[in-house]
Amino acid sequence: MTRPAPSPIPVDRDARVDWLRGLAALLILVHHLFAPFDWSATPPLDRIADVAAWCMLGVPVFFVLSGRCIGEAWLRGGSAARFALRRVRRIYPPYLASLLVCLGVVVVRRLFVGVNDVAALPATAPALLATVTLATAPATAVPTINWVYWSLTYEVVFYALLACLLPLPSPRARLVAWLTLHAALCGLDLAGFAQPASPDFFLDNWSLFALGAGLALLPGHRAWAFASLGIGALHLVALLVLGRAGLFHLVGLATAALLLLPGSVWSPRADGLLPRIGVVSYSLYLIHVPIGVHLLLRPAAALLGPGLAGSCAALALAAFGSIVASLVFHRIAERPWMRPALAPNP
């Protein structure tokens, strides 16, 4: 009897989550490929660029998915130190590797064009420390060296807040603390406390993460899940009344609605294109700007010229190159750290 070939998609992954991750990663890739250029003289790319500006809405999809996945890990319990270590192992090694990629692209651009036109590198020890620890904008005034890093700073705060609840003595105590924290942070956001470069910077996107965490409660804690989602719904209604709710919130709600659909209504194939990209979505998210935009698109656009054919070829090269590079980066810098992060809590 022949042994079946190994599946290219890990069996412990959720195809719906990976489908949404893949979609979000591609949306953000498209957004950043069009963002740095003026396409007004290259129709119909000018119209496509207008649409691509809205592709930044892949970010709230990531926030909701992160809340659900990390909420599931949090529900497994264990020590706060163990939970924090798992999160650090999952997010930081690929992030640090992507910093090296950014630095390498800076060196290449400097060699070929004579200047660093990629990113403002940290010039002081505090700025370097902030960059290495993800304590950059919007948490502080230190600018990021990659357009996407700002969202990772939100993620780190979300993880830290959940870790702070784990030392409580029982699951019920942790759930009570979760609802209390959720309500308090939504209230602070409504009161206008979310300010850039301050400790409360994360409040404006807290509700998206909490929406995903509320979904994580549904299988085993339905009453708590409904309470959590109810707090989020009241928060959204209040934002609508105040005129502060936007497409970020609506896309987050749409993401949650898709995850609530029964499998008989929506169950994507795990080996489809979007789930496959979803598996490497973190890698694609981290490196598509330095590789796709700065290393591939800008030189290709300069070489091929501003015409429609040349622009389309440059965009296709940048998109394809970003995805291929993310596969390599995932294998080298991300996948080796995934199994320790997914191992069960003791």
* Confidence band of 320 (pLDDT split at 50, 70, 90): very high
pLDDT one-digit tens code per residue, 30-80:
999 999 889 998 999 999 999 999 999 999 999 999 999 999 999 998 899
pLDDT one-digit tens code per residue, 160-214:
999 999 999 999 999 999 999 999 999 999 999 988 889 999 999 999 999 999 9
Which is nearest to 167 in space by CA: 82, 280, 284, 79?
A: 79
Delimit the domains of the chain by residue range. 15-34+43-257+273-342
How many angstroms separate the CA atoms of 214 and 272, rounded? 28
Contacts of 49 (CB under 8 A, 6+ apart): 34, 37, 39
The stretches of 124-202 forming alpha helices (DSSP H) are: 125-132, 149-165, 171-190
Query: Is 5's pLDDT higher than 50?
Result: no
* Confidence band of 10 (pLDDT split at 50, 70, 90): low
The stretches of the chain forming alpha helices (DSSP H) are: 15-34, 45-52, 58-75, 80-113, 125-132, 149-165, 171-190, 203-217, 222-242, 247-260, 273-279, 281-287, 298-304, 308-329, 338-342
- How does DSSP classify residue 57? G
Residue 19's region, left for phi above 0, alpha for psi from -120 to 50, else beta, is alpha
Which is nearest to 158 in space by CA: 203, 215, 193, 105?
A: 203
Average pLDDT over residues 289-295: 98
What is this structure's pTM? 0.93
Check whether the bond before 44 is cis (ω within 30° of 0).
Answer: yes
The mean pLDDT of the chain is: 93
231 and 186 Cβ atoms separated by less than 8 Å: yes
Can you give the pLDDT at residue 12? 62
Query: Is 2's pLDDT higher than 50?
Result: no
Can you give the pLDDT at residue 55? 98
How many angstroms separate the CA atoms of 93 and 179, rounded? 32
pLDDT one-digit tens code per residue, 14-41:
999 999 999 999 999 999 999 988 999 8
43 and 21 Cβ atoms separated by less than 8 Å: no
Can you give the pLDDT at residue 217? 97
Can you give the pLDDT at residue 307? 92
